[in-house]
Structure 1
Amino acid sequence: MLNVAQLMTLKPVSVSPDDSLAVVKQIFDHVKFHHVLVVENGILLGVLSDRDLFKALSPHIGTAAETPRDLATLNKKVHQVMRRKPVTLQPQAKVMDAIHLFNSEGVSCIPVVDSNNRPQGIISWRDIIRALDRTDKRTEP
C-alpha cells in the first residue's frame, strides 16, 4: 500500500500570511497548480486555493469596468482569506487516509507535514488519480 510521501509534490510553493493577494495572483497566473501553503517561520498556518483567491478578488480586475476599489482587493492580505488549520497528513500516512480526507472534508489538497507542522509536501486528488492511471497501464496485458 502506497503512502502519501510516495505521491506528494515536494517543495510546494508557500507564501507569508502578510503577503498581498496580488502576490498570490501573480503565482497562480504563471503556474499550473491550484494551492499555495501559508507558512510563517517554517510552520504551516493555512492554505490558499485559486478558488479562495477568485472569491476574494473583484471580478472586474483587468476589465474596462475596473475601478480603484476593485484594484484595492489585490491589497488584501493572505491571512484575511486563507483557510486556517487545514487538514494535514504526515508522510507515512497511507494513500487511503488521504482519499478518506478528500471525501470527508471536501478538500482538494492536503499539506503533508512533519510532527512539528513543518511542510514536507502537498498531495492532491490529481496526484492519486495520476498514480492510479500509471498503475493501471502497468497491469494491462
Structure 2
Amino acid sequence: MRVEELMTAKVFTVEPHDMIDRVFFLVHYEKVRHLPVLEKGKLVGIVSDRDLYKALGPKSNSNAIEGGPKSHELHVVPKKVMNIMRRGVITVAPDTPASEAAGLMADHKIGALPVLDNGKLVGILSATDILRVFSKLEHAKEAREKRIAEGISHT
C-alpha cells in the first residue's frame, strides 16, 4: 500500500505571514490538526493544533480564545504563523510505502507528513489516515478468521 492511497488530497494550508487567527479558525471550525505552511507554493513549515495552543498559553480553551461564552468576537494573540510553525519538515512522496511513512511518524513522534510530488504539495498523511486503514484491515482479518472458524465447526 502506498501513501497516495491513504493521504488526504484536499489540504488546508497557511502562509508564514498569516496571523494565527487563521490557524485557529481552521483548527476550530474545519477540525484540521496539521497545516502545511506554503510560501510562493513551496513548503516552508508546518503548524499543528498543539503549536497553536502552546502559542496561546495555558488558558487557551475555546471560551478564552473567543472572549467568553457570550462573546462572538474572536480574540487571538497577534502572532504570525512564522512565529509558531516548525521548519525542517519531514515529507514523503506519493509512492512511498505506507509502512515506511508510518515508521517515520513513529520514529519522529509526529502526527502528519506532507506529501510532495516534485516539490509540490499534493496531500497530507496523518496518523488518523493510517489508523483508519489499520482498523479496516483488522476488521477484515477478524471477519475472515470467523468465517474460517465457522466453516471448520460446521464440517
Supply the distance in 2 between the matched residues of 1:138 and 1:106 (Cα, whole angstroms): 28
Which of these residues, 131, 134, 137, is aligned with residue 135 of structure 1? 137
CA contact (8 A) 2:3 2:97 kept: yes
Structure 2 unaligned runs (5+)?
Answer: 68-74, 148-155
What amino acid sits opposite 1:50 in the alignment?
D
Supply the distance in 1 between the matched residues of 2:43 and 2:132 (Cα, whole angstroms): 26
Q: CA deviation at 1:60?
A: 4.1
Q: TM-score, normalised by structure 2?
A: 0.79
Q: TM-score, normalised by structure 1?
A: 0.86
Partner residue, 1:78? 81
The alignment yields a C-alpha RMSD, in angstroms, of 1.6
Q: Alignment identity in percent?
A: 33
Supply the distance in 1 between the matched residues of 2:58 and 2:107 (Cα, whole angstroms): 31
Number of matched pairs:
132
Moved over 3 A (4+): 58-63
What amino acid sits opposite 2:85 in the alignment?
M
Supply the distance in 2 between the matched residues of 1:114 and 1:8 (Cα, whole angstroms): 13
1:103-114 alignment runs, 5 A limit: 103-114=106-117
Q: Who wins on radius of gyration, i.e. which is larger?
A: 2
Residue by residue over 1:58-106, the C-alpha shift from the partner in whole angstroms, topping out at 9 and shown as x without a partner, is 344644xx7xxxx5x6211101110112100000000111111012111
